[in-house]
């Protein structure tokens, strides 16, 4: 699996079963720099978003840049309903084995900037259902914030994506498709710096398990302190029009 270890046996906290819910405020033991600003509080929001300073309960995604000044990463911003199915986990960690794996992965993708992680926040959405679902479909994906205190990265891992849209976003209750599909990317809150992963808010986002910017299908990795690393390995369409 692309996903780093997660779950209660890893010491994870579990979000409440609440539609459009969120974690409690997470006091970051290591402040995280995102688009040139440093944050000390984060929220893991049920609807597929990790936000800084304030929670995000909006369930139908908007394209970036947002006009409301929110600053967040959207691993898969859509109308998750963990009351109907699935769990959302998170933990801050300094576990040496995990940090070693994260460090090796990032250094492999960005060899010009050797990286030794000292901290990570791991958030995982495990087989989460969508609002209004009449199916058993679930999405499993993960976001990892990590730093060595100088460089700041976010890793997005996609293991199983079976739906794109909740019923309140005009999605089909049986298929979880159509309407306004999920959005994936980053919003700095300054109206200038943002990034939309190709396929966001289109039906194609269901194929994110096959796309990448680091040549590992289902994984996207970005340096986010100044967001310069999007240029290292910009995705290119192959002959079938798929993003790799």
DSSP class of residue 215 equals S
For residue 175, the model assigns a pLDDT of 98
**Domain of 163, in residue numbers:** 8-223
* Dist CA 102 CA 118 (whole Å): 10
Mean pLDDT within 215-234: 75
Residues with Cβ < 8 Å from 70, sequence gap 6 or more?
Answer: 51, 54, 56, 187, 189
The dihedral region occupied by 32, where left means phi > 0, alpha psi between -120 and 50, and beta the remainder, is beta
Sorted by sequence, the CB contacts under 8 Å of residue 236 that are 6+ apart come out as 243, 244
* Kind plus residue range of the DSSP H or E element containing 102: helix 96-109
pTM, rounded to two decimals: 0.93
- Both tokens of 124, joined, read 């995982």
Residue 79 included in any domain: yes
pLDDT in tens, 88-145: 999 999 999 999 999 999 999 999 999 999 999 999 999 999 999 999 999 999 999 9
Q: How many domains does the chain have?
A: 1
Residue 228: inside a domain: no
From 4, 39, 149, 20, select the one nearest 78 (Cα to Cα).
20
Largest CA distance in the chain: 48
Is residue 235 in some structural domain? no
Structural domain includes residue 153: yes
Does 31 reside within a domain? yes
Lowest mean pLDDT among 68-77, 119-128, 185-194: 185-194
The structure tokens listed for 44 are: 């893991």
Q: Is residue 184 part of a domain?
A: yes
Which pLDDT does position 228 carry in this prediction?
Answer: 59
Amino acid 231: pLDDT: 41
For residue 227, the model assigns a pLDDT of 65
Whole-number average pLDDT of the chain = 92
Asked if the structure places residue 243 within a domain, the reply is: no
> Does 86 fall in a domain?
yes
Mean pLDDT, residues 160-170: 98
User: DSSP code of 62?
Assistant: -
Give pLDDT tens digits for 37-64: 999 999 999 999 999 999 999 999 998 9
């Amino acid at each position: 699996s692309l996903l780093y270890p997660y779950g209660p046996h890893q010491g994870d906290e579990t979000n409440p079963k609440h539609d459009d819910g969120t974690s409690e405020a997470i006091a970051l033991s290591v402040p995280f720099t995102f688009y040139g600003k440093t944050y000390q509080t984060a929220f893991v929001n049920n609807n597929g978003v990790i936000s800084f300073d304030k929670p995000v309960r909006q369930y139908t995604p908007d394209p970036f840049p947002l006009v409301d000044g929110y600053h967040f990463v959207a691993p898969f911003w859509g109308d998750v309903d963990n009351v109907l199915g699935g769990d959302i986990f998170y933990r801050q960690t300094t576990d040496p084995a995990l940090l070693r794996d994260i460090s090796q992965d990032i250094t492999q993708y960005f060899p010009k900037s050797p990286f030794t992680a000292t901290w990570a926040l791991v958030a995982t959405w495990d087989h989460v259902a969508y609002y209004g679902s009449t199916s058993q479909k679930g999405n499993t994906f993960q976001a990892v914030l990590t730093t060595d205190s100088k460089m700041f990265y976010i890793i997005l891992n996609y293991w199983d994506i079976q739906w794109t849209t909740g019923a309140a976003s005009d999605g089909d209750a049986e298929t979880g498709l159509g309407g306004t599909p999920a959005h994936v990317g980053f919003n700095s809150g300054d109206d200038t710096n943002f990034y939309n992963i190709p396929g966001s808010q289109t039906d194609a986002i269901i194929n994110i398990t096959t796309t990448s910017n680091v040549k590992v299908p289902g994984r996207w990795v970005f340096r986010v302190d100044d967001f310069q690393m999007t240029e290292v390995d910009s995705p290119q369409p192959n002959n079938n029009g798929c993003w790799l």
